[in-house]
Chains A and B, each alone.
Chain A
Amino acid sequence: MQIFSWMIKVFFVGLLMLLAAGCTVTTREVGSDEKVIYDEGYHFSDKKAIVDAMVTSLLSKHPLLRTTDRPVLIIYGIANRTSEHISTSAMTDDMRQALLTSGRVRFVNKIQRENIERENSYQYAGNVAAETRIQKARQIGAKYMLTGTLRSMEKKQPRQFRLKKKTLMYYSLNMELTDIQTGLIEWADSAEVVREASKPFMGW
Chain B
Amino acid sequence: MMIFLQQAGFRLLRRPGFRFFTLIFLLFFLSGCAGRLNKASQYYYAGQSQQALDLLEKGDRFGKRNQLLFLMEKGLVFHYLGEYQESVNSLLEAARLIEQFEVTSLSRQAGSLVTNEWLTRYKGEYSERLWAHSYLMMSYLLLGQYDDALVEAKQALASLDKQPEALTTDYFTRGLIALCFANLAEDNDAYLVYRKLADDSLNPALVAADIVRHASRLGMADEVEKYQPFLPRRLSEGGAELVLFVANGRIPEKRPGNVFFPPSIRFAFPYYSNTETPPVRVEILPYQWSSLPVLSSDLGDVARSALEARKMRIVTKEALRVATKEAISQSVGNKNDAAAEAIIRAALFLLEEPDTRSWQILPGRLTLLRIPLPPGQHQLQVRLSELGQIDQIIELPEVQLRQGQRVFYSVRL
Interface SS of A by simple majority: strand
Residues of B within 8 A of A84 (CB): 151
Per the 8 Å Cβ criterion, residues 51-88 of A in contact with B are 79-85, 88
A201 interface hit (Cβ, 8 Å): yes
A20 interface hit (Cβ, 8 Å): no
Q: Which of A80, A165, A202 is in CB contact (< 8 Å) with B147?
A: A80
The residue of chain A having its C-beta at the shortest distance from the C-beta of B158 within the complex is A83
Whole-angstrom distance between the alpha carbons of A82 and B158 in the complex? 12
- The reply to whether B103 and A79 contact each other, CB–CB distance below 8 Å, is no
A158 interface hit (Cβ, 8 Å): no
- The reply to whether A204 and B155 contact each other, CB–CB distance below 8 Å, is no
- The reply to whether B102 and A199 contact each other, CB–CB distance below 8 Å, is yes
- The reply to whether B104 and A202 contact each other, CB–CB distance below 8 Å, is yes
- The reply to whether B106 and A82 contact each other, CB–CB distance below 8 Å, is no
Whole-angstrom distance between the alpha carbons of A112 and B158 in the complex? 38
What class of interface size applies to chain A in its complex with B? 10 to 19
- The reply to whether A82 and B151 contact each other, CB–CB distance below 8 Å, is yes
B92 interface hit (Cβ, 8 Å): yes
Q: How many residues of B contact A (CB 8 A)?
A: 16
- The reply to whether B147 and A79 contact each other, CB–CB distance below 8 Å, is yes
- The reply to whether A203 and B105 contact each other, CB–CB distance below 8 Å, is yes
The residue of chain A having its C-beta at the shortest distance from the C-beta of B102 within the complex is A199
Residues of A within 8 A of B107 (CB): 204
The residue of chain B having its C-beta at the shortest distance from the C-beta of A83 within the complex is B154
A126 interface hit (Cβ, 8 Å): no
Residues of B within 8 A of A204 (CB): 105-107
- Taken residue by residue from 146 to 160, chain A's Cβ proximity to chain B (1 for < 8 Å, 0 otherwise) reads as 000000001000000
- The reply to whether B106 and A203 contact each other, CB–CB distance below 8 Å, is yes
B148 interface hit (Cβ, 8 Å): yes
Query: Which residues of A are in contact with B by a Cβ distance under 8 Å?
Result: 79-85, 88, 154, 165, 199-204
Query: Which residues of B are in contact with A by a Cβ distance under 8 Å?
Result: 92, 102-107, 147-148, 150-151, 154-155, 158, 184, 186
- Please give me the 5 A-B residue pairs with the lowest Cβ-Cβ distance, nearest first: A83-B154, A80-B147, A203-B103, A202-B104, A85-B151
